[in-house]
Structure 1
Amino acid sequence: MKNFILISIFLFGTILTTAQTSFRLDTIYANDQKNVALFFPEPIRQGITGSENFVFTYNRDKGQYFGLLQAKPGKESNLLVVNKNGSVFSYIVKYRKKLDRLNYFIPTSKSIGNEKPIVADSTTIVKREDTIDNRTYYYNEFCSYLNNRKQRIGRLKKRNEGVILSVENIVFDKEELYFVIQVENKSSLDYDLNFLKLSVETRKKGKKKSLQRLYQEPVFKYNLPSKVKENETVRLVYILPKFSIGNDRRAVIELNEKNGERNLKLKVSHRFINNPN
């Protein structure tokens, strides 16, 4: 299981705390010559850096209390760590050729919040208008992160008269699959979108070969446009409940033009669906 976590957890954790406090993040320095060890009060469940020139390693199988940070020269970034009990820790990370400190023992008091709601008083009444849809918030933030990430799963493209449909990435997170889709319009005409659908096709064997198609309804759509202007590229994300398919089945993404014939069908093999990032 490959699970991505992003900067939104910082926002998510702080929103769910009872006090709306502004945190000033501490800075941790690292380089590519030495390991900088970070010791946490609880075992590490998840940890990620915001830039590829920083690497944070920890034991994903056994919940150990420490992780190791290394860095290559480049711009500063951030480190986000979630402990087993849900405590969230966030730091600014920078590259420094000479290190003054190699070990950080991090107390519980340095936590910026918890990824789950903390109820201070069971009698507290929360007004409906003050609550937020945390799931929608998470979807939006994670989709934004994936859209900006340069990771790709393979060369999955289909072209038709200057319109290019591609699947840039397929990511598994929290029992759901995120399809990062790109629509590029290199033609001289705007592309008015009628629909974009994802289905699973089953190829029936026998003398009378036929296809059985089952449409998959997304639980969330991110940045779905109604129009892709000429020379414009749009990236969007479809979130679907986790599923897997056999080698006799394939996923199909259909892009249909409104009042036009520049329609595309992109077939995605079972190996991409069953082995997401």
Structure 2
Amino acid sequence: MKTYILSLLLICPIFITAQQTLDTIYANDQKNVALFFPEPIRQGITGSENFVFTYNREKEQYFGLLQAKPGKESNLLVINRNGAIFSYIVCYREQLEKLNYFIPMDSSIGNERPVFIENEGQLNPVREIGNRTYYYQKFCSYLLTRKHRIGRIKKRSEGIVLSIENIVFDREELYFVIRIENKSTLDYDLNFLNFSVETRQKGRKKSLQSLHQEPLFVHDRPSKIAEGETSRLVYVMPKFSLSDDRRVILELNENNGERNLKLKVSHNFINNPN
């Protein structure tokens, strides 16, 4: 009988870790705890906002820094450039006995990429799931569980509120966590939510030029928002930055209605994502 091994990626490698006891790393808000990995860090995620794991997102490096504020224990998930997954319990401790952790490769709990194994002289491929769409789905779902906000970016009209809760940079993409609230007494039928970059032309005759941008992926976009309900969704865009004469425009349009909104997002928010 053919054997298949699947190394399930990313946010919850459940069946990989189910029979493993995770090591605990202690940190506080007074000192940096350094974690050195055998391969450069591609992604690092903490499960709670009172823990912060910082690493170089622009140029992959071998180490990251962990800090913590008093609170309940959480977890840290790190994925290396080669797809190796490392998972730890993280706890706050006022007095630290260890400030540097050198992580060996054999402490990896698995790999996000499909594994090929040899069985009775044959090479049996695993079903390919490590594609970009799968990654986007998992990371977008994770972002919707977070409460972190980048700032107050909001527009309201006739009981409809459009806001951006967070802008997150990961790999080569920007993730826009968007919130649509229907505080009116009528259902809101969504026609479209467009994303564009607007340029303010300088000179004697000032004008605006808008360029539509297609998302790479959209997660949980609703078709209808009932009265009193709220929908949250994520737009995944290719990474970009803006000069001070450009800004992002989110245009929300109602189907067979006139409750339309345009939300303007300053270049400062785009150039300084979480």
Return the TM-score normalized by structure 2: 0.78
Equivalent residue number for residue 123 of structure 2? 124
Gap change, CA 1:36 and 1:116, over 3 Å in 2: same
One-letter code aligned to 1:201? E
Is 1:178 aligned to residue 179 of structure 2?
Answer: no
Is this contact kept in 1: 2:9–2:112, CA < 8 A? no
Q: CA deviation at 1:29?
A: 5.5
Once the two structures are overlaid, the 10-residue window that deviates more, 103-112 or 148-157, is: 103-112
Q: CA deviation at 1:266?
A: 0.8
Equivalent residue number for residue 243 of structure 1? 240
Return the TM-score normalized by structure 1: 0.77
Is this contact kept in 2: 1:25–1:91, CA < 8 A? no
In 1, Cα distance between the equivalents of 2:32 and 2:230? 41
Equivalent residue number for residue 200 of structure 1? 197
One-letter code aligned to 2:164? V
- Per-residue CA deviation, residues 33-90 of structure 1 (Å, 9 max, x unaligned), is 887967656255254421123344678879456x665544433311223345543211
In 2, Cα distance between the equivalents of 1:144 and 1:108? 28
Once the two structures are overlaid, the 10-residue window that deviates more, 134-143 or 95-104, is: 95-104
One-letter code aligned to 2:273? P
In 2, Cα distance between the equivalents of 1:9 and 1:275? 24
Once the two structures are overlaid, the 10-residue window that deviates more, 239-248 or 93-102, is: 93-102
Gap change, CA 1:253 and 1:261, over 3 Å in 2: same
Gap change, CA 1:258 and 1:118, over 3 Å in 2: same
In 1, Cα distance between the equivalents of 2:67 and 2:249? 41
Gap change, CA 1:105 and 1:226, over 3 Å in 2: same
In 2, Cα distance between the equivalents of 1:241 and 1:87? 25
Is this contact kept in 1: 2:9–2:113, CA < 8 A? no
In 2, Cα distance between the equivalents of 1:62 and 1:219? 23
Is 1:9 aligned to residue 10 of structure 2?
Answer: yes
Equivalent residue number for residue 265 of structure 1? 262
One-letter code aligned to 2:123? T
**How is 1:94-109 mapped onto 2 (pairs within 5 angstroms)?**
94-95=91-92, 106-109=103-106
In 1, Cα distance between the equivalents of 2:217 and 2:56? 32
One-letter code aligned to 2:134? Y
Structure 2: gaps (5+ residues): 1-7
One-letter code aligned to 1:26? L
Equivalent residue number for residue 49 of structure 2? 52
Is 1:26 aligned to residue 22 of structure 2?
Answer: yes
**How is 1:144-163 mapped onto 2 (pairs within 5 angstroms)?**
144-163=141-160
RMSD between aligned residues: 3.5
In 2, Cα distance between the equivalents of 1:172 and 1:48? 12
One-letter code aligned to 2:79? V
Gap change, CA 1:114 and 1:206, over 3 Å in 2: same
One-letter code aligned to 2:26? A
Equivalent residue number for residue 4 of structure 1? none
Is this contact kept in 1: 2:251–2:261, CA < 8 A? yes
Gap change, CA 1:263 and 1:105, over 3 Å in 2: closer
In 1, Cα distance between the equivalents of 2:164 and 2:113? 33
Equivalent residue number for residue 42 of structure 1? 38
Is this contact kept in 2: 1:80–1:88, CA < 8 A? yes
Is this contact kept in 2: 1:23–1:112, CA < 8 A? no
Aligned length: 263
